Amino acid sequence: MQNILVIGANGTTGRLVSKILRDSSDFKPFAMIRKETQKPFFENQGIETRHGDLEGDFTSAFRGMDKVIFAAGSGGKGGDEKTIAVDQKGAIKAVEFAKANKLQKFVMLSSMGTDNPSKIEGLEQYLESKKTADDFLRESNVVYTIVQPGGLTDKKGTEKVELAHKLKKMGEISREDVAHTLLYALELERAKNTSFEVVSGNDELKQSIKNYK
């Protein structure tokens, strides 16, 4: 059983990730929370928590962890300062702490559009911050997978996707399918040291990630 730190656990996608990990036979989730008031939600589901604030020092949350899923994100809300603090600086610190604590793998939830942030009006700073953090992870010598989904929806997951390094088109995907994608990417050799874009499609999710080079 591997211990997985879920950063951004209290977000919509993070909660799904934590629940799916809890129900797996291979992983035990630890939800990183910023406020004590967030603790009961996870305790009631049998999920342990670790305290940590992306805008502070949260290295203690990594102790005893095997791998990490970074699912935090401002979503472009709260202004440029908040976006940089969470999506860029917070993510970079998480990579540094993962390296310092010798974690086996870092799975990053990013976004489509990071290759050209200026193309999507209103999300330029968000995508630029994501790109900076992704690039830092790529150069960190930490084993990683970067997942770049299309627009997130709250639809029921199907585990049917279209996945490629670059899809050359926009699309949507359910948060539930993204959560499963992050889980499957935890496997050490699966999609190792690479990134991919993913939207809803017709291919089996688990097989697509397993076969991805």
Q: Give residue 210's pLDDT.
A: 87
With 0.75 as the threshold, say if the pTM is over it.
yes
Half-sphere exposure of 25 (CA within 13 A, CB side): 0
Phi-psi group of 150: left, alpha or beta (phi > 0 → left; psi -120 to 50 → alpha; rest → beta) = beta
In total, how many domains does the chain have?
1
32: exposed, middle or buried (C-beta count within 10 Å: 0-12, 13-18, 19+)?
Answer: buried
Going by the DSSP 8-state scheme, the letter that residue 191 receives in this structure is T
User: What are the average pLDDT values for consecutive 10-residue runs of the chain, which has 213 residues?
Assistant: 96 95 95 94 95 92 97 72 86 96 96 74 79 95 96 93 90 96 93 95 92 80
> Cα(150)–Cα(140) distance, rounded to whole angstroms?
25
> Cα(148)–Cα(166) distance, rounded to whole angstroms?
10
Q: What is the CATH number of the domain that holds 67?
A: 3.40.50.720
Domain of 53, in residue numbers: 2-211
Q: Which residues are catalytic?
A: 126
